[in-house]
Chains A and B, each alone.
Chain A
Amino acid sequence: MKKIFLIGLKDLRIVFRDRPALLLILLAPFVLTLGMGFITGRFTGSKSGLSDIPVIIVNQDKAQLGNALVDAFNSTELSTLVKTTEVDDPAAARRSIDQNQAAAAVIIPAGFSINTLSDNPTQPLKIEVYTNPTSPTGSGIIQTIVEEFLGRVEIGRVAGQVTVTQLVTTGLVSPQEAGKIGSAIGLQQATSDVPPVIGLKTASSGQASQDFDILAYLAPGMALMFLMYTVSYGGRSLLAELKQGTLPRLLVSPTSATQVLGGKVLGVYLTGVAQMSILILASTLLFHLKWGDPLGVTVLVLAAVFGATGWGMLLTSMVRTPAQMGGLGSTLMLIFGILGGSFISLNNMPPFIQAISKITPNSWGLDGFTTLALGGSLADIGLPLMALFLMGALLFVAAVVVFNRRGLLQN
């Protein structure tokens, strides 16, 4: 056992002396987290990162639907999410966006209500959302709010038409009154006491709803993605030792193949744990990020690194050269990053992608970290923990089988 620790510690020491590797293991996830934090507005002083999105509204319609949309933006439900400014001049609004003063401008054309609610709209008038490309998340949210509103208007319009047709057919209203009644129904459907056009709510099953810091999703997402790089780097070191002769030298010392392999695996594992710990500590100190229950976070880090190490060892057992491992490791890092939800939340992915994502330690890890960040405890992350430990164990067994078949560790 002592030799396993000695080999593992030696590998850990070597990693921390390899500057290019450190850039990818520590700096890259940190910088990416920082960058995504800026994109989402996390560092603009807001609490969640998704609040006070600046939007400029130009209401040239000044009628029912235009006013309803302005009211929606100013509603209580959206008061923390968006910060509206009303102006009269569309050109001035666009200029403000060009000058990066807001995330988007919503321009409601004159006659929008009359045209939309009339029986025979001459030419459909469109609401323009002029977006700021430097604020993709913020402008995307504004676009979604407007689309949601328009969808509701369309439903109201169709509902009005159907209702009026039925009323005319049954003789309850005269054809002369139909237009007036239809408009009234449509308008009511679109603007009356409807549920909020769009809202944001973060909650976790069985937990009291609490504010969610977007960084509590981004930071573990990036850390888990680059954890895959770390484990592939560790695997590469085993193949490099084989090539540079230190592995054969170990195998002619009074050290068994099991001790050598165990030591190499431990080295990968310790490096992964060190990487995650440093990133968690740094984001806590620098970004005031709350990761949640410390015990839960510790056990989850150990489990996530275990699962990822299993993947690293299986890959190592299948490739022949350090270069192959480097290429495959980087590819897997990106694929697992995407599949595991490091870039885009899995909730926005099709069900089959969500199912496939379960083979990645990223997905289970993110589940766990999100639960903890929302106030969950160790008891609430039982499933991700079990999945990660099981994943690591199965993959490690598979790796040993392949290692033996290839005779990589002959004695």
Chain B
Amino acid sequence: MSSILEVKDLTKKYEDFVAVKGISFDIREGEIFSLLGPNGAGKTTTISMLSTLYTPSGGDALIGGHSVTKEPMAVRQIIGVVPQELALYEDLSARENLNFWGQMYNLGGKALKLRIDEILEQIGLTDKADQRVKTYSGGMKRRVNIGVGLLHKPRLLFMDEPTVGIDPQSRRAILDTVIALNKQGMSVLYTTHYMEEAAELSSRVGIIDHGELIALGTQKELTEQVGQAETLLLHVDENQQPEKLAAALKGLAGVNQVDLTDHTVAVITPGAEEILASVVAKASEIGMKIRSIEIREPNLEAVFLHLTGRALRD
């Protein structure tokens, strides 16, 4: 599959401070790629350079074969941008906003009118299209903000933390919209500091911290890359002796490590499902009653923690 975006050694310096340190990655046609990192990691600066708002201090990026530094106008025709902050005219209605921004993307006439109706339908605001944006809830404003970015049917959509500060229902609606757009063939670069969003949406994830791309790959590749195994959590009743169970499980085949916390025994293993039966049998053999069992898969949060020594939201 060909790449819609190829980033090569992209760098942004502000005097002595380097906000983005020579990052390289690509996004394939039809892919959702997430850039995951904490606040201040360099995600917005990266999107600002890719969307031609900021001039890179070094490196370049090709979008649809056009250089962001040399052919910014050609790049802008291909991309759509949904900024982190709401970028709307609050004294205009949703329809007037969409009409204005559509004209800025060289749309007009009947085609624009039809496209606006489509977008309003898509973001669920057809009924309130003629109300001024300032009367909308935060979630509704977010949806209009996204709608503006979709007007000209971009091949590559940049979404910069689109779910920050909104209610769970609106967040769900936005994630569903991203999935639906991707199904229609749109490539998406999605930045977030929510591990769950990156995990749910993306085929590949880049983890960025202090302006550096510290890991890149599918979720599976990332977790394997840092050697994360699955964790089998065995919860026992208070009148049981978990230390006895922990000792019994230590010599079992497929068990890497056994940890004990209160009345929970954590078994670290490359394959939790494979050893589950033998673990239950061993517990039964020593007369131990297990109250519940939980399998925890390795996740991006753990990867970030492993790579940086900090939690994503630190």
Contacts and interface: CB of A to CB of B under 8 A. Distances in A.
Do the two shown chains form a genuine complex with each other? yes
A411 interface: yes
14 contacts: A6-B100, A10-B89, A10-B100, A13-B96, A14-B89, A245-B83, A250-B104, A251-B53, A252-B51, A253-B104, A254-B77, A255-B104, A256-B73, A410-B54
B91 A18 contact: yes
Sorted nearest first, the 5 A-B pairs with minimum C-beta distance are A245-B87, A249-B87, A253-B104, A252-B51, A254-B76
A246 interface: yes
Interface in A1-36: 3, 6, 10, 13-14, 17-18
A254 B105 contact: yes
A249 B105 CA distance: 11
A136 interface: no
A13 B101 contact: no
A294 interface: no
A248 B47 CA distance: 12
A244 interface: yes
B55 A410 contact: yes
B81 A249 contact: yes
Interface of B: 48, 51-55, 72-73, 76-77, 79, 81, 83, 85-89, 91-92, 96, 100-101, 103-106, 132, 148
A411 B100 contact: no
Contacts of B104: 3, 6, 250, 253-255
Contacts of A251: 52-53
Nearest to A18: B91
A255 B81 CA distance: 14
Interface of A: 3, 6, 10, 13-14, 17-18, 244-246, 248-256, 410-411
Given A3-B103, A6-B100, A252 B89 contact: no
Contacts, number: 64
A253 B75 CA distance: 9
A245 B53 CA distance: 12
A397 B199 CA distance: 52
A116 to B, nearest CB: 70
Given A3-B104, A253-B104, A245 B85 contact: yes
Contact of A6 (B81, B86, B103, B148): B103
A230 B92 CA distance: 20
A248 B132 CA distance: 22
Contacts of A410: 53-55
Given A14-B91, A17-B91, A254-B73, A245 B86 contact: yes
A248 B91 CA distance: 18
Contacts of B83: 245, 248-249
A10 B96 CA distance: 9
Contacts of B88: 246
A292 to B, nearest CB: 36
A14 B83 CA distance: 22
Given A245-B85, A248-B53, A253 B92 contact: no
Nearest to B158: A252
A401 B280 CA distance: 77
A249 B81 CA distance: 8
Given A6-B100, A6-B103, A6-B104, A411 B87 contact: no
Contacts of A10: 89, 92, 100
Nearest to B84: A245
Contact of A411 (B53, B79, B81, B105): B53
Contacts of A246: 87-89
A253 B55 contact: no
Contact of B52 (A13, A18, A244, A411): A411
B279 to A, nearest CB: 54
Nearest to A15: B91
A255 B100 CA distance: 12
B87 A244 contact: yes
A411 B72 contact: yes
Nearest to A263: B104
Given A3-B104, A6-B103, A244-B85, A252 B52 contact: yes
Contacts of B100: 6, 10
A234 B52 CA distance: 26
B85 A14 contact: no
Contacts of B76: 252-254
A302 B72 CA distance: 36
